[in-house]
Amino acid sequence: MVDAVITPKGQLDLLSGSEIAMLHASSGSVYSTLFRNCALAVLSTGIDSDDGSELLARYKDFKIEVISSPRGVKLKLINAPGNAFVDGRIIAGIRSHLFAVLRDIVYLEDQYELWAQRGESITDMVFKTLRNARALKPRKRPNLVVCWGGHSISGHEYDYTKEVGYRLGLRHLDICTGCGIGAMKGPMKGANVAHAKQRTSKPRYIGISEPGIIASEAPNAIVNELIIMPDIEKRLEAFVRMGHGIMVFPGGAGTAEEILYIIGILLNNMNNNIVLPLIFTGPERSRTYWEQIDRFIGQTLGEQAQSLYQTVIGDPVAAARSMGHSMHDVYKNRRESHDAFYYNWSLEIDEEFQNRFEPTHENMAALNLRKDQPIEKLAADLRRAFSGIVAGNIKPSGIAAIRQHGCFELNGDPQIMQALDELLENFAADGRMKLSGQYQPCYKLKAA
């Protein structure tokens, strides 16, 4: 473990005296634990674990302090993971990520409280967070592909994500993912090589995380723009507001949550004229996986939901080409609707997809997993169900809740429960729930 004092470069390197004082005061508030844990996650990049609670226990002696001075703000690290340093110097990318944590967790603390008091919309809050991170590029044509997929995937699936990323990069498309490993790292790695071949100027590899997940899915080394949203709902909204197309690779419960989120939004009739290409893709050996996903969507949400996406199996060139061609359609649609290229203001997102969901045992049991309601509302509660399962699998708070109170209980129509049970059983059998060890379900399903 290493002790060090880190200075900023590119993030928070030009602050007023009052801003520095605010940062110093905030880092000692209730946010200090959150800031410390997120900073530890960033410093742990490269550690092969998706158990956030195990990481926190392993480095229980790690400390981080904000140091203020007339020259600016610095970070003092005590007992930091040694893998973040080379010959005693912190890796440049990790330094950048550390100050992104300071920016998003501490610097925006007072701003979120102020925005909430003013009654500002969540969409505006997401916009201001992204603008503060300098993630919005007003004069850039649509070219940002959001890539979703699991952190726990097989080697051939990971290789496929790299190949698709490479083909996207050859078409000068930038990549945005959840910033972790697996299907979040592969597209960036492939695109990185292609961008170098194409001599692409300032390629973007955007990683969007949130405090509850970052300890389990630390930012991979290729991410050159890290953004930490306050919760999973704002994280998901940031993806679809910034992105111009969505490519989904195989994954587990978290990927199912993302799929249900975007499908639920696209089912809203107010979004019928929005162009936001959605492509499911994977290698030939993952064909069964996508058949399972398609069957689950059909059994729970119906044919209308199944019509919202395109599936491309075993052909990375076709997948990338389809996404590349769709960028012109997105450009044309934004021009015709007078919408911004850098932020999809026209996309209608209902409160069911915006309001923060706390995956407590009580809230999980109260989810309405029945068909006697509009399908977009069912999609919203199915999304919450998978969000709770993700929390119980890998988030420190969720793991602690399961250990204390036992498994989450989900109730719903027999047909939905059967479809959910089959999908989750397949995820577990394929090793998509955890990186290592025998998976112990954090849920119980009951037909009611």
Cβ partners under 8 Å of residue 48, min gap 6:
435, 436
Q: Tell me the CA distances in angstroms from 339 to 117, 327, 334, 336, 371, one per residue in order.
A: 28, 15, 5, 8, 35
pLDDT, tens digit (0-9, with 9 covering 90-100), for 348-405: 999 999 999 999 999 999 999 999 999 999 999 999 999 999 888 878 788 889 999 9
Checking if the pLDDT of 448 tops 60, the result is yes
Burial-class residue 3 by CB neighbours within 10 Å (0-12, 13-18, 19+). exposed
Residue 201 DSSP code: S
CB 431 within 8 A of CB 151: no
- Give helix then strand counts, H and E, for the chain: 19, 14
pLDDT at residue 2, rounded to an integer: 80
CB 227 within 8 A of CB 208: yes
Place of tokens 């410390």: 36
DSSP string, 105-135: IIITHHHHHHHHHHT--HHHHHHHHHHHTT-
Q: Compute the distance between CA of residue 80 and CA of residue 47 in angstroms, rounded to an integer.
A: 13
pLDDT at residue 396, rounded to an integer: 79
Q: Compute the distance between CA of residue 410 and CA of residue 209 in angstroms, rounded to an integer.
A: 26
* pLDDT-based confidence at residue 17 (cuts at 50, 70, 90): low
Q: Compute the distance between CA of residue 148 and CA of residue 157 in angstroms, rounded to an integer.
A: 13
pLDDT, tens digit (0-9, with 9 covering 90-100), for 407-428: 999 999 999 999 999 999 999 8
**Whole-angstrom distance between the N-terminal and C-terminal Cα of the chain?**
52
Average pLDDT over residues 35-61: 76
Q: Compute the distance between CA of residue 143 and CA of residue 447 in angstroms, rounded to an integer.
A: 44
pLDDT, tens digit (0-9, with 9 covering 90-100), for 233-270: 999 999 999 999 999 999 999 999 999 999 999 999 99
* pLDDT-based confidence at residue 30 (cuts at 50, 70, 90): very low
pLDDT at residue 13, rounded to an integer: 61
Domains of the chain, earliest start first: 2-120 (3.30.1850.10), 126-336 (3.40.50.450), 358-447 (no CATH)
* % of the chain exceeding 90 in pLDDT: 62
